[in-house]
Amino acid sequence: MKTILVTGGLGFIGSHTVVELQNSGFKVIVIDNLSNSRIEVLDSITKITGTKPNFHKVDLRNKKEVKNFFDLNIIDGIIHFAAFKAVGESVEKPLEYYENNIGSLVYLLQEMRDRNIDNFIFSSSCTVYGQADKLPITENAPIKPAESPYGNTKQIGEEIIKDSCNAHKLNAIALRYFNPIGAHESIEIGELPLGIPQNLIPYVTQTAAGIRSQLSIFGDDYETPDGTAIRDYIHVVDLAKAHIAALKRLLNKDNENNFEYYNIGTGKGSSVLEIITAFQNSTGKILNYKTVERRTGDVTAAYADTTIANEKLNWKTEKTLEEALRSAWNWQEKQSNNHS
């Protein structure tokens, strides 16, 4: 049985990936510093899978803590989620973002080099493409200058991994996520945004739940059919499964290059208005919304060409947008019930 280290394994995408790893027969060790996650998620994962993952509270910014962890644990591969992810906050606190997202990555890669651990999966983002010149976006689309320190940490992160793969015995895959949404069907795990949500779907579900009075559509004057911006919303469980596919590719030594990168999306773009309609239709909830100015830094449209990921990873999405939105709503209702 292979042992996989999942950093940030109690976060939104991390927790769903731990579930899929355990369901696929991997032994999982989670490390997380609980800076943006809750320890209770460990029990939720245990409820879903019947197995409690091994957990260590480790702060990856602390080189000594990282080294101590690797001294005590034998690891076959790493899936690295632990990172800060708020675009606006990264503009205010760039150095914290570079320290956390880049520093941690370097320490992990150094331990991998020193201990001959050679399988690494990295959480990257479609943000590396900026406003792509052609849609759908293929992996060959040029990397555009980053719009934020957060986006820059994903670009620099990929470069650091590529250089490490060239210099050392390391095999890595970067997964460039489009917009992950939804929750596990058990509604034991889901997204837990702190404070006012920045992302569309949590804002939608909190508005439907009455926590927010009104949803703002950021701009209806984009050059799109209905004027609102287009994204590729992928169910987090489908996204989690892409990590298992990528990991198997590395463990089976099926990879053609020591550093590979894939678009992980559905291939289908939806506008903000289409999301609102789909949410209302699939949940029966009516949303109160208004249109406001565009949000700085937003692109007009981004959706994936997933041909290469489908072929090389032998993976494809299985869930519909409606299922994803319904699961996000079910999760929201559960949170609201817990707090009332």
Q: Considering only residues 104, 127, 164, 330, which one is a binding residue for ligand UD1 as defined by CB under 6 A?
A: 127
Of residues 24, 46, 198, 310, which one binds ligand UD1 by CB under 6 A?
Answer: 198
Hey, which residues between 276 and 305 contact ligand UD1 (CB under 6 A)? 295, 297-298
**Nearer Cβ to ligand UD1 (199/310):** 199
Site string for ligand UD1, 7-46 (x = CB under 6 A): ----------------------------------------
Q: By rule CB under 6 A, what string of x and - marks binding of each residue 250-279 to ligand UD1?
A: ----------------------x-------
State which of positions 61-120 bind ligand UD1 (CB under 6 A).
85, 87
Q: Say if CB 93 and CB 153 are below 8 A apart.
A: no
150: annotated active-site residue: yes
Binding residue (CB under 6 A) for ligand UD1 from 186, 199, 280, 336 = 199
Instruction: Figure out which of the listed residues 200, 245, 264, 309 binds ligand UD1, where binding follows CB under 6 A.
Output: 200
Part in contact with ligand UD1 (CB under 6 A); list of ranges 58-66, 185-193, 197-205, 309-317 = 197-205
DSSP string, 261-319: EEEES-S--EEHHHHHHHHHHHH-PPPPEEEEPPPTT--SB--B--HHHHHHTT-----
Closest approach of Cβ 298 to ligand UD1, in Å?
4
Letters for 218-247 (x = contact with ligand UD1 by CB under 6 A, - = none) are x----------x-x----------------
Answer whether 286's CB lies under 8 Å from 215's CB.
no
Question: How many helices (H) and strands (E) in the chain?
Answer: 12, 13
Nearer to ligand UD1, 22 or 152 (CB): 152
Give min distance, CB of 40 to ligand UD1, in A: 22
- Rounded to a whole number of angstroms, the minimum distance from the CB of residue 200 to ligand UD1 is 4
Dig out the tokens for 330 from the structure. 């079910």
Alpha carbons 271 and 228: distance in angstroms, whole number: 6
Selected catalytic residue, list 150, 177, 261, 303: 150
Rg (CA), the chain: 19
Round to whole Å and give the CA distance between 339 and 303: 36
In whole angstroms, give the CA distance from residue 43 to residue 30.
13
Packing angle of the helix pair 12-23, 41-49 (nearest 10 deg): 30
Q: Give SS3 for 172.
A: strand
**Can you tell me whether residue 7 is helix, strand or coil?**
strand
Is there a contact between 32 and 6 (Cβ–Cβ < 8 Å)?
no
Catalytic (active-site) positions? 150
Residues of this chain that interact with ligand UD1 (CB under 6 A) are 85, 87, 125, 127, 151, 179, 198-200, 203, 215-218, 229, 231, 272, 295, 297-298
